[in-house]
């Protein structure tokens, strides 16, 4: 059994750690097998993480978090960046075109741009096979009960469920994980594609809330309220 955390932000977007620090933390302080650095609307930092990962225990897959016109979409195993601002469906189709797996990020999150349940059900019905998964457990939700709605959507849509930290600080990495059969990057991709992944619910220390709120306060102060 392997574990992956596939939604992590670096200083390339609104995270607080460098790519090297993320790889070092995941290697030395977690039991994660695979991570993905998924910065907002740029793939570069994730490609750097993949290049650097050979020097660390943990493996890395390329990815980014794309701001579609209808909410955030995670793109994993992506080879080419996909621009922001397109519809959810068009963005997911581009991700597939470039060999990636489109994953719904934090659906119905009140704090970040997110797709709603009615629209998501509609897309799943009209475009079967387009989406590769849904984030059912997001470790950066202020109120973890928000994840229950995503978990219900997972059963309603039949999409594979993933657990991700959405970490913006080092200590949050791995607080929410996806379990899969195997340990390698290839095992992980196969598991997602076959729906053989299990989201591991969030476990985080009490100090997380203080650190998270402090980071949010800084972000609100900078006028950047739409990213998560």
- Residues near Zn ion (CB under 5 A) are 65, 72, 105, 112, 166, 228
The dihedral region occupied by 195, where left means phi > 0, alpha psi between -120 and 50, and beta the remainder, is left
By beta-carbon proximity to Zn ion, the closer residue of 65 and 70 is: 65
- In whole angstroms, the minimum distance from the beta carbon of 195 to Zn ion comes to 23
**Nearest-approach distance from CB 26 to Zn ion, in angstroms:** 16
Q: Of 191 and 228, which has the nearer Cβ to Zn ion?
A: 228
Phi and psi at residue 4, to the nearest 5°: -135, 145
Nearer to Zn ion by C-beta: 182 or 201?
Answer: 201
Residue 176 burial class via C-beta count within 10 angstroms: exposed 0-12, middle 13-18, buried 19 and up: buried
Q: How far does CA 101 lie from the centroid of its chain?
A: 11
**3-state DSSP of 121-159:** HHHHHHCCCCCCEEEEEECCCCCHHHHHHHHHHHHHHCC
Q: Which is nearer to Zn ion, 95 or 112 (CB)?
A: 112
- With 0-12 CB in 10 A as exposed, 13-18 as middle and 19+ as buried, what is 128? exposed
The answer to whether 73 and 82 have CB atoms below 8 angstroms apart is no
72 or 189: CB nearest Zn ion: 72
In the complex, least distance from residue 65 CB atom to Zn ion, rounded to whole angstroms: 5
In 3D, which of 58, 55, 73, 76 has the Cα closest to residue 6? Answer: 76
Residue 181 Cβ vs Zn ion, minimum distance, rounded to whole Å = 26
Residue closest to Zn ion when measured from CB atoms: 72
Please, which residue, 11 or 181, has the CB nearer to Zn ion? 11
Cα separation, 19 vs 208, in Å, equals 21
* Residue 194 CB, nearest approach to Zn ion (Å): 25
Least Å from the CB of residue 135 to Zn ion: 9
Residues 6+ apart with CB under 8 A from 150: 106, 107, 108, 134, 135, 136, 137, 138
Q: Which is nearer to Zn ion, 149 or 181 (CB)?
A: 149
In the complex, minimum distance from the CB of residue 63 to Zn ion, in angstroms, rounded to a whole number:
11
């Amino acid at each position: 059994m392997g574990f992956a955390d596939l939604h992590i932000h670096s200083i390339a977007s609104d995270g607080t750690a460098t790519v090297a620090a993320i790889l070092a933390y995941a290697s030395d302080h977690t039991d994660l097998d695979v991570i993905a650095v998924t910065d907002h609307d740029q793939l570069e930092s994730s490609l750097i993480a993949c290049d650097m990962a050979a020097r660390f225990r943990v493996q890395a897959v390329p990815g980014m978090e794309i701001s579609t016109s209808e909410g955030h979409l995670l793109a994993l195993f992506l080879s080419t960046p996909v621009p922001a601002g397109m519809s959810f469906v068009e963005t997911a189709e581009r991700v597939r075109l470039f060999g990636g797996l489109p994953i719904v990020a934090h659906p119905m999150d009140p704090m970040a741009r997110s797709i709603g349940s009615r629209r998501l059900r509609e897309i799943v019905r009209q475009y079967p096979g387009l989406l590769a998964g849904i984030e059912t457990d997001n470790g950066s939700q202020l109120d973890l009960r928000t994840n229950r709605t995503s978990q219900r959507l997972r059963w309603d849509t039949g999409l594979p469920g993933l657990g991700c930290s959405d970490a913006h600080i080092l200590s949050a990495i791995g607080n929410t994980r996806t379990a899969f059969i195997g340990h390698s990057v290839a095992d992980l991709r196969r598991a997602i594609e076959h729906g053989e992944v299990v989201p591991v619910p969030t476990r985080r220390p009490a100090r997380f809330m203080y650190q998270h709120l402090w980071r949010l306060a800084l972000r609100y102060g900078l006028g950047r309220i739409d990213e998560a």
